[in-house]
C-alpha cells in the first residue's frame, strides 16, 4: 500500500527543504572556513552529495524522494501509458511541495548562520555555456535515475545519485543545479550557492530542455522504461493499488 498523498507531499516538502539547507548551509560554511574558491566548491559539493544520498534513503520509502520537478514530470510522462508513474493529478502537488520546500530550506540555512531570512542573491549566472551545462546535468540525472529503476538497481540510487550530483558540480559549467525547485530556492539567499532571480528563468528553461533530452534518450535506450516508472514513486505497485491509493 502506497502512503497517502499528504504524506508524500510532506516528504517532498521536507526532503527538498533539507536538501537546499544542505546546499546553502555548506556553501556558507565553506566560505567561512576557506578562502580558496576551489576548496569552497569542494566542501560544498561533498556535503551536498552526502546529504542527498542520506535524504533519498530517508524519504524514498514515502514519496520516492524526487525533490525535483523534472524527475516528477519525467516519472509522470514515462509511466502515463502503463499507469505505473506519478498520476497527473499528483504532479502539481509534488511540484508545489518541492518548490515551497526549496524556499523554506534556503531561509532555514540563512537563519542558522545568522543571516537575513530572505536576501535575494545578486550572483548572476547567465550565458549559453551555463545553460548548456544545465541541459547536460539534468539529462544525465534523469538517465541515471530511470536506468537504475529499469534495470532493477533502484536500491543503489541513493549512492549513485549523490555521487552523480557531487561529480556534476565539477564537470558542468553551471555547477549542476539540475532542478527547477532548487534553482528557485537558491535565489532567496545571497550567499555562495545563490543565483540572482533574473538568472532563474534561463536555468529553468535549460532544465526543461534537459528533461526533453533525457526522456528522449531513455525512450531510445530503454523502450520499456515506462514499466519501471512506479519504482521511482515508492515501490512497484499493481495498477489497481495505484488507482486506490493515489
pLDDT digits over 76-121, tens only?
999 988 888 899 999 999 999 999 999 999 999 999 999 999 999 9
Residue 209 CA to residue 138 CA, distance in Å, equals 8
**Residue 183 phi/psi, 5° resolution?**
-60, -45
List the single range of 46-50, 60-64, 229-233 with lowest mean pLDDT.
229-233
pLDDT for the residue 200: 98
> What are the chain's domains?
5-236 (1.20.1080.10)
CA nearest to 82, candidates 218, 242, 220: 242
Q: Which three cell numbers stand for residue 93?
A: 502537488
Cβ(206)–Cβ(135) under 8 Å? yes
Residue 18 CA to residue 156 CA, distance in Å, equals 21
Q: Which is higher by pLDDT, 85 or 20?
A: 20
Residue 8 CA to residue 56 CA, distance in Å, equals 13
Mean pLDDT of 190-195: 98
Residue 65 CA to residue 80 CA, distance in Å, equals 19
Residue 19 CA to residue 178 CA, distance in Å, equals 13
Mean pLDDT (the chain) is: 93
pLDDT for the residue 231: 79
Check pLDDT > 90 for residue 245.
Answer: no
Length of the chain: 246
Owner of C-alpha cell 500500500:
1
pLDDT for the residue 62: 95
CA nearest to 230, candidates 32, 75, 94, 114: 75
Check pLDDT > 90 for residue 213.
Answer: yes
pTM: 0.92
Cα–Cα distances in angstroms (integers) from residue 184 to residues 73, 106, 173, 202, 245, in the given order? 17, 10, 19, 11, 31
Residue 17 CA to residue 102 CA, distance in Å, equals 5
Amino acid at each position: 500500500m502506497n502512503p497517502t498523498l499528504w504524506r508524500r507531499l510532506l516528504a517532498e516538502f521536507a526532503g527538498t527543504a533539507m536538501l537546499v539547507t544542505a546546499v546553502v548551509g555548506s556553501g556558507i560554511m565553506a566560505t567561512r572556513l576557506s578562502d580558496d574558491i576551489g576548496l569552497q566548491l569542494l566542501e560544498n559539493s561533498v556535503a551536498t552529495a552526502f546529504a542527498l544520498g542520506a535524504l533519498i534513503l530517508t524519504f524514498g520509502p514515502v514519496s520516492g524522494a524526487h525533490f525535483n520537478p523534472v524527475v516528477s514530470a519525467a516519472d509522470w510522462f514515462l509511466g502515463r501509458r502503463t499507469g505505473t508513474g506519478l498520476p497527473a493529478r499528483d504532479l502539481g502537488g509534488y511540484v508545489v511541495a518541492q518548490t515551497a520546500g526549496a524556499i523554506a530550506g534556503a531561509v532555514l540555512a540563512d537563519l542558522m548562520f545568522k543571516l537575513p531570512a530572505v536576501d535575494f542573491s545578486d550572483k548572476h549566472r547567465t550565458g549559453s555555456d551555463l545553460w548548456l551545462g544545465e541541459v547536460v546535468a539534468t539529462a544525465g540525472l534523469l538517465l541515471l535515475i530511470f536506468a537504475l529503476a529499469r534495470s532493477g538497481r533502484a536500491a543503489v540510487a541513493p549512492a549513485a545519485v549523490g555521487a552523480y550530483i557531487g561529480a556534476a558540480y565539477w564537470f558542468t559549467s553551471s555547477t549542476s543545479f539540475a532542478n527547477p525547485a532548487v534553482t528557485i530556492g537558491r535565489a532567496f539567499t545571497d550567499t555562495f550557492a545563490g543565483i540572482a532571480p533574473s538568472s532563474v528563468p534561463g536555468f529553468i528553461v535549460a532544465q526543461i530542455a534537459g528533461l526533453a533530452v533525457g526522456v528522449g534518450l531513455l525512450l531510445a535506450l530503454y523502450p520499456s522504461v515506462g514499466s519501471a516508472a512506479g519504482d521511482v514513486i515508492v515501490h512497484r505497485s499493481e495498477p489497481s493499488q495505484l488507482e486506490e491509493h493515489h
